[in-house]
């Protein structure tokens, strides 16, 4: 289990005492439902995290007894704790086009309108599009993505 990395993506979740823990300290994250990758869901489950990696997981009562000295830094009885989602194909660079150019029944016609719109954006607007798309992706629970970047006319990194 030590090879799994934990990335916390909960809006508004940033307990002040988390920073006060010693480096390398184990922290417990508890939720009403834990969805492991390779085993059935666990009601009232918990994760033990050490140095940003999942060190242990299981039913909360068992995990808390195995890690009695570790603080519970998140107790979320109404939440589901699951691995980050993967979006294998996205276009962050087109995020600014949302709501501006409605979908068309004719895909090729829509692309013919979309490309000039995108090419009209300044470098700052392209950078903003990437940032907005990335923020939306992270807020949706994605922690890994494959962005399809098709225009290399501008250095927008």
> Taking 90 as the threshold, does the pLDDT of residue 156 lie above it?
no
Residue 105, SS3 per DSSP: coil
Give the pLDDT band of residue 102 (cuts 50, 70, 90): confident
Question: 47-78, pLDDT tens digit by residue?
Answer: 999 988 889 999 999 999 999 999 988 898 98
What is the Cα Rg of the chain in Å? 21
Question: In whole angstroms, what is the distance from residue 3 CA to residue 109 CA?
Answer: 46
Q: How far is CA 155 from CA 5, 121, 149, in A?
A: 31, 13, 12
pLDDT given for residue 104 in this prediction: 79
Longest pairwise C-alpha distance within the chain: 62
Give the separation between CA 127 and CA 154, rounded to whole angstroms. Answer: 10
Name which of 54-68, 122-136, 142-156 the model is least confident about: 142-156
Indicate the pairing of strand 72-81 with strand 26-34. parallel
Q: What is the pLDDT of residue 140?
A: 83
pLDDT of residue 128: 92
CB 156, CB 123: distance < 8 Å: yes
Give the closest residue to 56 by CA, choosing from 23, 78, 34.
Answer: 34
Whether the pLDDT of residue 154 is over 80: the answer is: no
* pLDDT exceeds 70 at position 5: no
φ, ψ dihedrals at 111, nearest 5°: -60, -40
Q: In the structure, what pLDDT confidence band is assigned to residue 124 with cuts at 50, 70 and 90?
A: very high
- Confidence (pTM): 0.60
Split at pLDDT 50, 70, 90, the class of 7 is: very low
Q: Which of 7-11, 23-27, 91-95 has the lowest mean pLDDT?
A: 7-11
Q: pLDDT tens, 24-45?
A: 789 999 999 999 988 999 999 9
């Amino acid at each position: 289990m030590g090879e799994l990395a934990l990335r916390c993506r909960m809006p508004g979740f940033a307990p002040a005492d988390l920073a006060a823990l010693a480096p390398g300290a184990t922290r417990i994250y508890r939720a009403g439902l834990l969805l492991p990758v390779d085993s059935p869901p666990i009601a009232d489950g918990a994760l033990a995290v050490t140095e940003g990696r999942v060190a242990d997981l299981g039913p909360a009562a068992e995990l808390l007894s195995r890690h009695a000295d570790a603080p519970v830094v998140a107790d979320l009885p109404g939440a589901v704790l699951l691995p980050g989602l993967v979006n294998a194909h996205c276009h962050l660079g087109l995020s600014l086009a949302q709501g501006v150019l409605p979908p068309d029944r004719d895909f090729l016609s829509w692309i013919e309108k979309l490309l000039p719109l995108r090419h009209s954006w300044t470098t700052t607007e392209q950078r903003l599009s990437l940032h907005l798309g990335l923020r939306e992706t992270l807020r949706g629970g994605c922690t890994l993505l494959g962005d399809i970047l098709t225009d290399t006319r501008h250095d927008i990194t």
